[in-house]
């Protein structure tokens, strides 16, 4: 197992996010009524802002705001509805705490554009830049980092990991051709998307293959079904399982982790970083 560490600095308004010195924690803020584990909890703007502030206090480095559930069986949300969900929350967080780095979880270019103008700094695209033909040119024009998550419409893999690498390389090429700065590309293996339990497990044990593509890797496993299946536990009782996947991912080179339970996972990340980066508590 070879751990690849990439150094990057992302300007996020008043804050800089630095990769290569520690693992970054992305706190999840779903402003949706139907997300699989926290749907409906933060649809109120004031409550969403308070949760974002709490996650930052608990140790998050940035907040990921999503207005459309991507759980299996979820209903696609129209552009205007998604904008109505995410833009007021981004604006409110930006007013309350302009130092907080914000990513917007969307595959729609117009949502990404308006979100960045409202105060977001990063685009998190679950369709690796191919879900909306304008997404990659929009990311290039906005000059912001974009997270390209592995996803596809089917599971017709010939060979899972090589096929994933092929898909991600395709998106990287399209992004570069659209004018996206290579230093602004982050990859996500897409755990839980177009993959069954066995395939998710295989991706987890071969994350280092993806980490050698030349781009930082974000790992988003928090509370996902493959953990619940492995442990035979409900969605609200898998912190230890999530922590195990986070630790295993960091050991293989994942440099950002996207989680719900920030305070608990922060300790896991700190311990991993102490071993990986040689950091020590004062």
Active-site residue, from 85, 224, 228, 266: 224
Of 85, 108, 113, 258, the catalytic one is: 258
Q: Decide if 18 is catalytic.
A: no
Is residue 108 flagged as an active site residue? Answer: no
CA–CA separation, 270 and 242 (whole Å): 15
Residue positions annotated with a catalytic role:
224, 258
């Amino acid at each position: 197992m070879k751990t690849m560490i990439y150094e990057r600095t992302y300007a996020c308004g008043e804050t800089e996010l630095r990769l290569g010195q520690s693992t970054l924690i992305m706190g999840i803020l779903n402003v949706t009524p139907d997300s699989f584990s926290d749907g409906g909890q933060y649809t109120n703007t004031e409550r969403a802002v308070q949760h974002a502030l709490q996650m930052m206090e608990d140790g998050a480095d940035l907040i990921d705001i999503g207005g459309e559930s991507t759980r299996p069986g979820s209903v696609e949300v129209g552009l205007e509805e998604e904008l109505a969900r995410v833009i007021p929350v981004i604006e409110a967080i930006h007013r309350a705490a302009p130092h907080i780095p914000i990513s917007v979880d969307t595959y729609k270019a117009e949502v990404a554009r308006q979100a960045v103008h409202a105060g977001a700094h990063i685009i998190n695209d679950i369709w690796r830049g191919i879900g909306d033909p304008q997404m990659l040119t929009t990311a290039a024009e906005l000059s912001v980092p974009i997270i390209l998550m592995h996803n596809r419409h089917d599971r017709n893999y010939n060979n899972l990991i090589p096929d994933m690498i092929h898909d991600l390389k395709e998106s990287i090429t399209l992004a570069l051709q659209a004018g996206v700065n290579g230093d602004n590309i982050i990859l996500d293996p897409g755990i839980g998307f177009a993959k069954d339990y066995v395939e998710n497990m295989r991706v987890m044990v071969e994350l280092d293959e993806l980490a050698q593509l030349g781009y930082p890797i974000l790992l988003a496993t928090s509370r996902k079904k493959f953990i619940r299946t492995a442990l035979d536990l409900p969605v609200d009782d898998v912190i230890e399982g999530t922590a195990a996947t986070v630790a295993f991912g960091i050991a293989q080179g994942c440099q950002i982790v996207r989680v719900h339970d920030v305070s608990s996972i922060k300790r896991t990340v700190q311990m991993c970083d102490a071993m990986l980066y040689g950091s020590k508590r004062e």
